[in-house]
Structure 1
Amino acid sequence: MASDIEIARAAKMRPITEIGAKLDIPPEALESYGSTKAKVKSSFIAGLNGRPDGKLILVTAINPTSAGEGKTTTTVGLGDGLNRIGKRAAMCLREPSLGPCFGMKGGAAGGGHAQVVPMEDINLHFTGDFHAITSAHNLLSALIDNHIYWGNTLEIDVRRVTWRRVMDMNDRSLREIVSSLGGVANGFPREAGFDITVASEIMAILCLATDLADLQERLGNIIIGYRRDRSAITARDLEADGAMTVLLKEAMQPNLVQTLENNPAFIHGGPFANIAHGCNSVIATRTALKLADYVVTEAGFGADLGAEKFFDIKCRKAGLSPAAAVIVATIRALKMNGGVGKDELGEENVEALKKGCANLGRHIENVKQFGVPVVVAINHFVTDTDAEVEAIKAYAAEQGVEAVLCQHWAKGSEGTEELARKVVELVEHDSAQFAPLYEDDMPLFAKIQTVARRIYRADDVAADKSVRDQLHKWEADGFGHLPVCMAKTQYSFSTDPNLRGAPTGHMVPVREVRLSAGAGFIVVICGEIMTMPGLPKVPSANHIRLDADGQIEGLF
Structure 2
Amino acid sequence: MSDIEIAQANEQKEMQPITTIAAKVGLQEQDIERYGDYKAKIKLTAFENQPLPADHKLILVTSINPTPAGEGKSTVTIGLGDALNKLGAQTMIALREPSLGPVMGMKGGATGGGYAQVVPMEDINLHFTGDMHALTCANNTLAALIDNHIHQGNALNIDQRRISWKRTLDINDRALRHTVIGLGGPFQGIPREDGFNITVASELMAILCLATNIHDLKARIAKILIGYTYDRQPVTVGDLKVQGAIAMLLKDALKPNLVQTLEHTPTLIHGGPFANIAHGCNSILATTAALKLAKYTITECGFGADLGAEKFLDIKTPKLGKHPDAVVIVATVRALKYNGGVALADLKTENIAALEQGFANLKRHIENMQRYGLPVTVAINAFTADTPAEIQRLQALCAELGVQAVNTEVWEKGSEGGKALGEAVLASLTAPVDFKPLYEPETTLTEKIAIIAQQIYGAKDVVYETKAKKQLKTFATNGWDKMPVCMAKTQYSFSDDPKALGAPTGFTLHIREFTPDLGAGFIVALTGNVLTMPGLPKQPAALRMDIADDGTITGLF
TM range (shorter): over 0.9
Aligned equivalents of 2:525, 2:499: Cα separation in 1:
21
Residue in 2 aligned with 1:115? 117
Aligned equivalents of 2:467, 2:356: Cα separation in 1:
43
Which residue identity does 1:96 align to in structure 2?
Answer: P
Aligned equivalents of 2:334, 2:467: Cα separation in 1:
43
1:501 and 2:502 are equivalent in the alignment: yes
Q: CA deviation at 1:549?
A: 3.2
What are the superposed Cα offsets for residues 51-78 of structure 1, whole Å, 9 maximum, x if unpaired? Answer: 5462110000000001000000000011
My pick for the range that moved more, 179-188 or 49-58, is 49-58
User: Which of 16, 19, 24 in structure 2 is aligned with 1:17?
Assistant: 19
Q: CA deviation at 1:434?
A: 1.3
Residue in 2 aligned with 1:105? 107
Aligned equivalents of 1:419, 1:104: Cα separation in 2:
29
What are the superposed Cα offsets for residues 399-453 of structure 1, whole Å, 9 maximum, x if unpaired? Answer: 111100001011111111111111111112x121112210111110111111111
Residue in 2 aligned with 1:62? 64
Asked if structure 2 preserves the Cα contact closer than 8 Å seen for 1:444 and 1:475, the reply is no
User: Which of 218, 225, 228 in structure 2 is aligned with 1:226?
Assistant: 228
Residue in 2 aligned with 1:520? 521
Residue in 1 aligned with 2:493? 492
Give the secondary-structure state (helix, strand or coil) at the position aligned to 2:206: helix
Asked if structure 1 preserves the Cα contact closer than 8 Å seen for 2:52 and 2:291, the reply is no
Aligned equivalents of 2:118, 2:74: Cα separation in 1:
10
Residue in 2 aligned with 1:84? 86
Residue in 2 aligned with 1:457? 458
Asked if structure 2 preserves the Cα contact closer than 8 Å seen for 1:53 and 1:290, the reply is no
What are the superposed Cα offsets for residues 105-161 of structure 1, whole Å, 9 maximum, x if unpaired? Answer: 100000000000000000001000000000111011000000000000000011110
Asked if structure 2 preserves the Cα contact closer than 8 Å seen for 1:316 and 1:436, the reply is no
Aligned equivalents of 1:448, 1:455: Cα separation in 2:
10
Asked if structure 1 preserves the Cα contact closer than 8 Å seen for 2:86 and 2:415, the reply is yes
Map 1:14-413 → 2, pairs under 5 A: 14-49=16-51, 51-52=53-54, 54-413=56-415
Give the secondary-structure state (helix, strand or coil) at the position aligned to 2:474: helix
Residue in 1 aligned with 2:422? 420
Residue in 1 aligned with 2:534? 533
Q: CA deviation at 1:305?
A: 0.4
Which residue identity does 2:337 align to in structure 1?
Answer: K
Residue in 1 aligned with 2:546? 545
My pick for the range that moved more, 505-514 or 477-486, is 477-486
What are the superposed Cα offsets for residues 481-511 of structure 1, whole Å, 9 maximum, x if unpaired? Answer: 3110000100001111111101111111111
Aligned equivalents of 1:182, 1:102: Cα separation in 2:
33
My pick for the range that moved more, 134-143 or 229-238, is 229-238
Asked if structure 2 preserves the Cα contact closer than 8 Å seen for 1:372 and 1:432, the reply is yes
Q: CA deviation at 1:44?
A: 1.3
Give the secondary-structure state (helix, strand or coil) at the position aligned to 2:50: coil
Aligned equivalents of 1:228, 1:533: Cα separation in 2:
31
Aligned equivalents of 1:218, 1:52: Cα separation in 2:
29
Asked if structure 2 preserves the Cα contact closer than 8 Å seen for 1:53 and 1:289, the reply is no
Asked if structure 2 preserves the Cα contact closer than 8 Å seen for 1:48 and 1:287, the reply is no
Asked if structure 1 preserves the Cα contact closer than 8 Å seen for 2:466 and 2:512, the reply is no
Asked if structure 1 preserves the Cα contact closer than 8 Å seen for 2:134 and 2:249, the reply is yes
Which residue identity does 1:55 align to in structure 2?
Answer: K
What are the superposed Cα offsets for residues 336-369 of structure 1, whole Å, 9 maximum, x if unpaired? Answer: 0011111111111111111111100010011111
**C-alpha RMSD of the superposition:** 1.0
- Runs of 4+ residues deviating >3 angstroms: 49-53
Residue in 2 aligned with 1:5? 4
Unmatched segments (≥5 aa) in structure 1: none
Give the secondary-structure state (helix, strand or coil) at the position aligned to 2:299: strand
Give the secondary-structure state (helix, strand or coil) at the position aligned to 2:260: strand
Asked if structure 1 preserves the Cα contact closer than 8 Å seen for 2:106 and 2:537, the reply is yes
What are the superposed Cα offsets for residues 148-194 of structure 1, whole Å, 9 maximum, x if unpaired? Answer: 00000000011110001000000000000001011110111101100
Q: CA deviation at 1:469?
A: 3.7
Aligned equivalents of 1:127, 1:465: Cα separation in 2:
43
Aligned equivalents of 2:549, 2:253: Cα separation in 1:
34
Aligned equivalents of 2:384, 2:52: Cα separation in 1:
47
TM-score, scaled to structure 1: 0.98
Give the secondary-structure state (helix, strand or coil) at the position aligned to 2:61: strand
Paired residue total: 554
Give the secondary-structure state (helix, strand or coil) at the position aligned to 1:436: coil
Asked if structure 2 preserves the Cα contact closer than 8 Å seen for 1:441 and 1:480, the reply is no
Asked if structure 2 preserves the Cα contact closer than 8 Å seen for 1:358 and 1:502, the reply is yes
Which residue identity does 1:98 align to in structure 2?
Answer: L
Aligned equivalents of 1:86, 1:468: Cα separation in 2:
54
Aligned equivalents of 1:425, 1:475: Cα separation in 2:
47
Q: CA deviation at 1:323?
A: 0.2
Aligned equivalents of 2:310, 2:466: Cα separation in 1:
26
TM-score, scaled to structure 2: 0.98
Asked if structure 2 preserves the Cα contact closer than 8 Å seen for 1:40 and 1:254, the reply is yes
Asked if structure 2 preserves the Cα contact closer than 8 Å seen for 1:378 and 1:405, the reply is yes
Give the secondary-structure state (helix, strand or coil) at the position aligned to 2:240: coil
After superposition, the Cα gap between the structure-2 partners of 1:241 and 1:91, relative to the gap in structure 1 and judged at 3 Å, is same
Give the secondary-structure state (helix, strand or coil) at the position aligned to 2:357: helix
Percent of aligned pairs sharing the same letter:
57
Q: CA deviation at 1:480?
A: 2.9
Asked if structure 1 preserves the Cα contact closer than 8 Å seen for 2:69 and 2:338, the reply is yes
Unmatched segments (≥5 aa) in structure 2: none
Residue in 1 aligned with 2:482? 481
Aligned equivalents of 2:528, 2:332: Cα separation in 1:
27
Q: CA deviation at 1:42?
A: 1.6
Asked if structure 1 preserves the Cα contact closer than 8 Å seen for 2:93 and 2:298, the reply is yes
Aligned equivalents of 1:47, 1:317: Cα separation in 2:
17
Aligned equivalents of 2:380, 2:45: Cα separation in 1:
41
Aligned equivalents of 2:182, 2:433: Cα separation in 1:
54
Which residue identity does 2:289 align to in structure 1?
Answer: T
Give the secondary-structure state (helix, strand or coil) at the position aligned to 1:166: strand
Which residue identity does 2:445 align to in structure 1?
Answer: L
Q: CA deviation at 1:46?
A: 2.3
